[in-house]
Chain A
């Protein structure tokens, strides 16, 4: 009996050693050379695997960072500029500085502003609802409120507020990875420039309907009246397809458009609104803009000069 046990153990040991030797040589022969820097770079990256950079995950991003000579087009939205800088210094390459962004929900159709016209009881998903019909309200463009963005967010930064029925973004947690932008079937969420103290001015509406249709469906919608476009000194606002859009690159947060907007579609975040000028409505449009510019121009005359040249350029 003991002999059988002994032989068994011995045979297994010999087999094990043999296999180890074979494996050693095979590993030598078929070894895959991989740049050790990829591992190092991967460690530097946040490891969220969110895909916000456009790659399948942090490993794929690290691979791209090491292999590409020019990494200025690559950026990690989660790690931000500090991570990219660290990686660039490690690799001896130049990373492009990217301004911080944050997700912005461009819909102001809260429960009280946008009345419900019907009830949906299908699968609780914006994508499903959008594929079936217009949504629970009369607005064909607004937020459906079933929270596909919330599900898509890997950073717990966006939540549907039950009081408003709209998603709210936590700017501290938002990394601008763009997952919610992709998840929204109505293209409501946009990545916009992140100002200090999370200030923001943006058009909280994406409805391309005509003014009358918008008014009927929602009290907070953009009706495309163009008042904001006229009052903006920086040429930041364009009205196209009955919808105003504020270019975050050109906007200087002067807040004049906010006071002009008749429906309150232009949203102001973490900022006090400008005091309303009583004489503004009486004066004709063009001089009103002029006087407004003068009163505001004291601290920054350069901006005031820029306005007319831009206007002539566009005209």
Chain B
């Protein structure tokens, strides 16, 4: 069975909510919409305090090409456009909307009928996706229209749909594939048309045999779409890992992108959102969020409007258990621990994982014993112990030379370390600092030719 060639770990899966059908969460009374919930420039608010908005109305416009539109997830009144604490407690500009009824913007088709035919041209499809503010919903939140706009001189050969969901606990993509498979497959045909490719592969790890079966049946009537079962290994859902697993091609180190090896990867939930945007004119205003954890009374998959406070989701899944030690936005491997539970669900929030104090506590770090387990676990072929140490010693030139920018922050190194060293903490800091240095260097280099 196919998988990616180097590194990887096998964390316990704990897919507690994989058999729970998607439930629709009641409309929230108040939502907070961050202006920056995607990679790239933050969106620019188009509404002001006191404005009336309806569901699906554009409330913030993409700040640049590498940005995304944001639409109102509910109808009501804008209460403020101000700094609000996000999940990490950091103040971010957000639009706060108070709900009043449930009025929708014109032109949005809310009927459940499946529309298979798409007569739009590739340009129009991309324009529609851009208008709908769709970003990668697997967590990286890369604007989808940017991904689909293939730069001149490069050619897309294959579209890969990411249904891997390798992160432990999370099941939102799994449930989406099962319950909205028809829409997903139509979404794949739309994306294929937008990219002008003949071939599409839906990559699914074989711990989801029901999803594999279901989609195999559905794609039988379409030409060029294939379902590829993959061996279970973390982090197979990483873009570069998935490309390697499906096509056998290695994406060169940054700044190279998947398109350099002719691949475009799109998450399964994103593909459904693309279907809704193109066929139903529905912008990205809701998503499936897995609320899970060993201590949770009822782990659930909730269809949630963007901006809903995470505390509401936790309530819907039976409330925080008494022994809760950590609430993570995302899964336990790549998610970010939260210190503010009133923070909103954003476009990239695929799950909320609650861990008990005992599970969440880190064990005391000891000395590196140079066992090199982290090196063999790293799916990018880096040397985590070295990057971590060099960041601590402030040897940033060396950290940059050792390709810290290639790190995908999957946490395999930290998970595998027998000395419990906080490897990823340091590497992430090193990566951030080096990225800052690279950006500063680029900024210093650009004005020079103008002179």
Instruction: State A203–B339 Cα separation when bound (angstroms).
Output: 28
Asked whether, in the complex, the Cβ of A134 is within 8 Å of the Cβ of B429, the reply is no
Chain B: minimal CB distance from A101 (Å)? 24
Interface residues of A in 265-305 (CB under 8 A from B): none
CB neighbours (8 Å) of B432 from chain A are 131
Task: Determine, out of A14-22, A58-66, A118-126, the stretch whose residues face the partner at the interface.
Answer: A118-126
User: A132 contacts the other chain (Cβ, under 8 Å)?
Assistant: yes
Given known contacts A128-B429, A133-B89, A140-B89, is B422 in contact with A123 (CB within 8 Å)? yes
Asked whether, in the complex, the Cβ of A122 is within 8 Å of the Cβ of B422, the reply is yes
CB neighbours (8 Å) of A140 from chain B are 85, 89-91
CB neighbours (8 Å) of A121 from chain B are 361-362
Given known contacts A140-B90, A140-B91, A209-B91, is B425 in contact with A118 (CB within 8 Å)? no
User: A135 contacts the other chain (Cβ, under 8 Å)?
Assistant: yes
Interface on chain B toward A: helix, strand, loop, or mixed SS?
mixed
Kindly identify which residue among B90, B361, B362 contacts A134, using a CB–CB cutoff of 8 Å. Answer: B90
Interface residues on A, range: 10 to 19
Instruction: State A117–B426 Cα separation when bound (angstroms).
Output: 24
Asked whether, in the complex, the Cβ of A132 is within 8 Å of the Cβ of B89, the reply is no
Instruction: State A246–B18 Cα separation when bound (angstroms).
Output: 59
Asked whether, in the complex, the Cβ of B429 is within 8 Å of the Cβ of A133, the reply is no
CB neighbours (8 Å) of A225 from chain B are none
CB neighbours (8 Å) of A79 from chain B are none
Chain B: minimal CB distance from A138 (Å)? 7
Interface residues on B, range: 10 to 19
CB neighbours (8 Å) of A128 from chain B are 422, 425-426, 428-429
Chain A: minimal CB distance from B237 (Å)? 22
Closest to B362 in A: A121
Closest to B361 in A: A121
Instruction: State A123–B361 Cα separation when bound (angstroms).
Output: 13
Closest to A127 in B: B429
Asked whether, in the complex, the Cβ of A123 is within 8 Å of the Cβ of B425, the reply is yes
Instruction: State A132–B336 Cα separation when bound (angstroms).
Output: 8
Interface residues of A in 102-129 (CB under 8 A from B): 117-118, 121-123, 125, 127-128
Asked whether, in the complex, the Cβ of A133 is within 8 Å of the Cβ of B337, the reply is yes
Asked whether, in the complex, the Cβ of A134 is within 8 Å of the Cβ of B426, the reply is no
CB neighbours (8 Å) of B425 from chain A are 122-123, 125, 128, 132
Asked whether, in the complex, the Cβ of B89 is within 8 Å of the Cβ of A138, the reply is yes
User: B149 contacts the other chain (Cβ, under 8 Å)?
Assistant: no
User: B14 contacts the other chain (Cβ, under 8 Å)?
Assistant: no
Kindly identify which residue among B85, B339, B426 contacts A123, using a CB–CB cutoff of 8 Å. Answer: B426
Asked whether, in the complex, the Cβ of B89 is within 8 Å of the Cβ of A131, the reply is no
CB neighbours (8 Å) of A135 from chain B are 89
Kindly identify which residue among B85, B88, B91, B362 contacts A122, using a CB–CB cutoff of 8 Å. Answer: B362
Asked whether, in the complex, the Cβ of B422 is within 8 Å of the Cβ of A134, the reply is no
- Other A-B pairs beyond A122-B422, A128-B429, A134-B85, 12, CB < 8 Å: A123-B426, A127-B429, A128-B422, A128-B428, A131-B428, A132-B336, A132-B337, A133-B336, A133-B337, A134-B89, A134-B90, A140-B91
A-B contact pairs, 27 of them (CB 8 A): A117-B339, A118-B339, A121-B362, A122-B422, A123-B422, A123-B425, A123-B426, A125-B429, A128-B425, A128-B429, A131-B428, A131-B432, A132-B88, A132-B336, A132-B425, A133-B88, A133-B336, A133-B337, A134-B89, A134-B339, A134-B340, A135-B89, A138-B89, A140-B85, A140-B90, A140-B91, A209-B91
Which residues of B line the A interface, CB within 8 A? 85, 88-91, 336-337, 339-340, 361-362, 392, 422, 425-426, 428-429, 432
